[in-house]
Amino acid sequence: MGQSRNAIVAQSPSSTPEGKSWIQNFPAEDRETAELLINSLRIFSADDFRSRLLKMILDRLAEVRGPVAVYPVKNTRKNEQEPLPFPAYRKLPGSYAIVANIIRDAVENPPKGVAASGAPELCELRDGKFRSVLLIDDYAGSGGLAVRHGKGWMRNTTIRSWRSYGLLEIHYASFAVSSLADRNIKKERLFDSVSFLEYGVDFASARWTSRERESIEDLCRAYAWKKEYAYGRDKSRGLCVMPHTVPNNLPAVLWQKKGPSGGPWEPLFRTRRMNPRQQIELAGYGRRIEIEEISAEIGQRRLARQLDSRLRDESPELKKLLVLLGALAARKRRDHTLSVHFGVPVGVIAQMLSVGRTLGLIDEERRLTDAGWAELRSARRATKQLPTPELTGSDEPYYPMKLRGSQ
């Protein structure tokens, strides 16, 4: 659910040559846990990352005050002030240059009526009377990079002055953030808004039992060469991998080159990079989430049983809408909570909620209406079959504009 088409054919990490070699680092009794860990990774494809980040930038350009100056987030040192010129690289650039390239495409083709510029200097910000700065990131694992960059802007006395007079706003947007990064970034109050497409992608959002989680944490701690990186940087317990970067907030056992006693260790991601074959074979990988599993997870076990039996052949999108009603009935109403449960971006959750409101099943407070409660009770009983909608001429998710009659 919520994965790109590449995810259908993507190999599981444990089935690749690197994955098989990595699992052999562990004694036989720990290999099942190790396999669960690497098969819980979320690995985005290059196409998915680029197209969705580009759309996010364009959407934010249309939402914030203009003119808008757009910059890629980078590692700003403690004595530096932003905005700084592009750094001179001694080696080929990675994440920063990729994000900068996507920003270029966005500002050269902005939404109608929006004035935007990529990484203007301070004098250009003044002369152009820019009203918003939009900082773009690919992934925030612990939030440290975003915070350091944001503080670089706050060290600039001119920027501080413009903000204090309400002349300039600074917004942060990232493709993905961990739950830890989200808390750390918002705690600093550096930005006027914080937005992202993917939330979690870490231990907290993994669908593990308590025993599985405990076993995985024990494994990460026992086999880490450096204990301070047992759960990744700042103990952020990340599970997110992108084609251009393997973040250091992943557990050390995935990328370290030495074992716990300093002996040889075969990393899953050598030099914290995906090699070209991994980028192809693993593109779009994510654990498949069954709708029945989501229903049981949110406490709607009767609905889960019906989805697995009498409602098995119904439209996947219709079943997701019914489970959404179940989640809202269980008071799980926050975008991020729903995103983690359904395994889809926040934007897809917004679309599902919009459909529910259009059908009169949900009100503006995300509470079930009388019609919504009737549909949910009927689905739990499932004494009538739902009509099976047909998909014609489009691969877009289909949401029926009318459910069956309530019983």
* Tens-place pLDDT, residues 351-363: 888 888 888 888 9
User: From the centroid of its chain, how far is CA 43?
Assistant: 10
Is pLDDT of 87 > 70? no
The larger pLDDT score, comparing residue 302 to residue 168, is at 168
pLDDT at 382: 52
The larger pLDDT score, comparing residue 257 to residue 348, is at 257
Instruction: Please state the domain count of the chain.
Output: 3
pLDDT at 389: 46
The larger pLDDT score, comparing residue 312 to residue 58, is at 58
Q: Are 256 and 222 in contact (CB under 8 A)?
A: no
Kindly state whether residues 20 and 50 are assigned to the same domain.
no
pLDDT at 399: 52
Is pLDDT of 109 > 70? yes
- Span of 4-13, 59-68, 79-88 with lowest mean pLDDT: 4-13
* 400 confidence band (pLDDT: 50, 70, 90): low
Is pLDDT of 198 > 50? yes
Residue 79 counted as domain residue: yes
Kindly state whether residues 224 and 96 are assigned to the same domain.
no
Residue 364 counted as domain residue: yes
Tell me the pLDDT of the chain averaged across its residues: 86
Residue 135: DSSP 8-state: E
Kindly state whether residues 147 and 251 are assigned to the same domain.
no
Is pLDDT of 29 > 80? yes
Kindly state whether residues 214 and 314 are assigned to the same domain.
no
Kindly state whether residues 59 and 121 are assigned to the same domain.
yes
User: Mean pLDDT highest for which of 81-90, 131-140, 279-288, 391-400?
Assistant: 131-140
Token readout for 165 is 């007079």
Residue with tokens 């985005």: 44
Kindly state whether residues 334 and 302 are assigned to the same domain.
yes
Is pLDDT of 32 > 80? yes
Domain end among 199, 216, 237? 199
Kindly state whether residues 127 and 55 are assigned to the same domain.
yes
Domain end among 281, 313, 335? 281
Kindly state whether residues 259 and 336 are assigned to the same domain.
no
* 92 confidence band (pLDDT: 50, 70, 90): very low
Is pLDDT of 377 > 50? yes
pLDDT at 387: 46
- In CATH, what number is assigned to the domain containing residue 75? 3.40.50
The one-letter amino acid at 160: R
Kindly state whether residues 60 and 169 are assigned to the same domain.
yes
Residue 405 counted as domain residue: no
Is pLDDT of 94 > 70? no
The larger pLDDT score, comparing residue 261 to residue 384, is at 261
Q: Is 369 exposed, middle or buried (0-12, 13-18, 19+ CB in 10 A)?
A: middle
- Span of 76-80, 119-123, 128-132 with lowest mean pLDDT: 76-80
Residue 119 counted as domain residue: yes
- Domain of 339 in residue numbering reads as 291-381
* 306 confidence band (pLDDT: 50, 70, 90): confident
pLDDT at 350: 82
Kindly state whether residues 228 and 305 are assigned to the same domain.
no
Kindly state whether residues 131 and 11 are assigned to the same domain.
no
Residue 396 counted as domain residue: no
pLDDT at 318: 79
Kindly state whether residues 267 and 352 are assigned to the same domain.
no
pLDDT at 130: 97
- Output the furthest CA–CA distance in the chain (Å, rounded): 69
The one-letter amino acid at 118: G
Average pLDDT over residues 320-326: 85
Residue 243 counted as domain residue: yes
Residue 404 counted as domain residue: no
Residue 388 counted as domain residue: no
Q: Where are the alpha helices (DSSP H) in 64-167?
A: 95-108, 122-127, 144-154, 157-164
Average pLDDT over residues 276-280: 90
* 182 confidence band (pLDDT: 50, 70, 90): very high
Domain end among 151, 179, 199? 199
Provide DSSP, 196-234: EEEE--BGGGS---HHHHHHHHHHHHHH-SSGGGTTSGG
Token readout for 254 is 């995935």
* 169 confidence band (pLDDT: 50, 70, 90): very high
pLDDT at 90: 47
